[in-house]
A = this chain, B = another copy of it.
Amino acid sequence: MKKFVIVGLGLIGGSMALALKGFEGFQIVGVDVSQPTLRFAREHGVGDVVTEDAGQAVEGADVVMLCLHPQGILDFLEGYKDRFKPGCLVTDVCGIKSAVMEKAGCLPQGVDFIGCHPMAGTEFSGVEHAFAEMFRDSHLILTPRESSTAEHMALMERLADYIGCRDVVKTTAAQHDAILAYTSQMMHVIAVSVCDDENLFTCKGYEGSSFRGCTRVAALDVGLWTQLFSLNAPALTVCLDALIDHLQEYRAAIAAGDREKLAAKLAVSADRKRKMDLPGPDLLG
């Protein structure tokens, strides 16, 4: 039986195990170090089999998907690089790709690596919040190596289809990290910065949907986001500088009291947003 190992049964790994149930006849093996997580996974059918023995699970595996925090992925690659069988596909799910792809260079010849980032998640963490529909209508980003095989790329595309992704986007690690600094990491920096405002606790009863939409992700997983911000610091600081410039421009236009100028500026920004014309459902429930 073909073996698909998911290392780390947190929110994403757990959801992946649930979503992949029955995929092409693979046996889904879940690995975690936490006993409560393993117990929950066993009781709720998260994976066909679960184990705490990563080494044994990885041996003979056809696919190994690393669903750990970024630093955990780097450490796992280093620690288990000699345990994968030849022809194995190793992949991951994390939100930074340059550091991961670079570290994957330690894998022996014949072990393939394709960076993977499903653009899905919630503000919760842990296997108890996992659900099979997590990836429905989300983008799946792939950052293959030049040497990645066509068979493995095709496998990842069928996987994306099976778990319900809207599309598969293929790019480089550098491009991924530059854009994710903007579309994801910066959104989290904004959310926590807004929550640092002294008015936060007095504003209860005055929040509308725009406030909820912007600050929802502020209740973040501190360990995870510390790593994501740190491992992508150069790209993220560039984005933040641009944002602060744009905010300063709006601040100046508002303070100047020139309504015509402010309206012209707003018309440009609102038009840009409309042109983006983002399709797809809102995943903010």
Chain A interface (Cβ < 8 Å from any Cβ of B): 119-122, 138-139, 141, 167, 169, 176, 178-180, 182-184, 186-220, 222-223, 225-227, 229-230, 233, 236-237, 239-244, 246-251, 254-255, 257, 259, 262-263, 266-270, 272-276, 278, 282-285
Do the beta carbons of B206 and A278 come within 8 Å of each other? no
Check A194/B255 contact, CB under 8 A, given A139-B206, A205-B169: no
Copies of chain A in the complex = 2
Do the beta carbons of B139 and A192 come within 8 Å of each other? no
21 pairs across A/B with beta carbons < 8 Å?
A119-B207, A122-B209, A141-B205, A184-B206, A186-B194, A189-B247, A190-B214, A193-B249, A195-B269, A195-B276, A196-B249, A196-B269, A200-B276, A209-B284, A210-B217, A222-B266, A222-B270, A226-B266, A229-B254, A236-B254, A240-B247
Partner of A257, one of B120, B205, B218, B230: B230
Q: How far is the CA of A236 from the CA of B252 in the complex (A)?
A: 11
Check A278/B178 contact, CB under 8 A, given A192-B273, A195-B272, A241-B251: no
Q: How far is the CA of A167 from the CA of B284 in the complex (A)?
A: 23
Closest to A212 in B: B282
The 10 closest A-B pairs by CB, nearest first: A192-B269, A213-B213, A218-B273, A187-B210, A209-B283, A193-B246, A169-B205, A196-B246, A226-B263, A119-B208
The interface residues of chain B lying within 8 Å CB-to-CB of A282 are: 209, 212-213, 216, 284-285
Q: How far is the CA of A197 from the CA of B240 in the complex (A)?
A: 10
Min CB–CB distance A259 → chain B (angstroms) = 5
Min CB–CB distance A282 → chain B (angstroms) = 6
Do the beta carbons of A179 and B203 come within 8 Å of each other? yes
Most buried by B among A167, A211, A229: A211
Check A263/B223 contact, CB under 8 A, given A213-B213, A284-B282: yes
Closest to A217 in B: B210
Contacts A187-B210, A192-B270, A226-B263 known; 20 new A-B pairs at CB < 8 A = A121-B208, A139-B206, A141-B206, A178-B199, A179-B199, A182-B199, A184-B206, A187-B194, A192-B269, A193-B249, A193-B269, A195-B269, A197-B239, A197-B246, A201-B275, A212-B282, A216-B282, A237-B254, A240-B247, A244-B251
